Amino acid sequence: MLSLAKNANMLLMFFLELGVLASVAYWGVTLSPNWGVKLLAGLGGPALFIAAWALFGANGGANATFPLTGLARAALEILWFGGGALALYASGLITSAMIFSALFILNAVLRFFWNEV
């Protein structure tokens, strides 16, 4: 049963990672009425987040170019997932930002408790 809960928590983290990208893309397309800005921010924002995750956080650091551990990894996750929540907030989706933040906190606490960080 614990194995199922751990797998569900890892699935939640994967969906949260996708949620960050969707949140940043949504923020980008709501940023301006100008289509050029929408396109640049809607595609460029997620591209920057993808690059940062690939360099420092991919697959828990196992596939990252420059894997981070300890406090540096925690800071990366707070910036990454916090960025997704802030993008939702900046887009006017305050309730969604709060739910996203709560799910990230739950996920992080469980991974810490289960020694999966």
pLDDT tens figures, 14-54: 999 999 999 999 999 999 899 999 999 999 999 999 999 99
Predicted pLDDT at 61: 63
Q: What burial class does residue 102 get, using C-beta atoms within 10 Å of its C-beta: 0-12 exposed, 13-18 middle, 19+ buried?
A: exposed
Q: For 56-110, write each residue's pLDDT tens digit.
A: 987 766 778 888 888 999 999 999 999 999 999 999 999 999 999 999 999 999 9
Task: Count other C-beta atoms under 10 Å from residue 53's C-beta.
Answer: 18
- pLDDT category of residue 8 using cuts at 50, 70 and 90: very high
Predicted pLDDT at 80: 94
Predicted pLDDT at 60: 65
More confident call, 48 vs 116: 48
Give the total residue count for the chain.
Answer: 117
Concatenating the DSSP letter of every residue in 14-28 gives HHHHHHHHHHHHHHH
DSSP character for 66?
S
Percent of the chain with pLDDT strictly greater than 70: 98
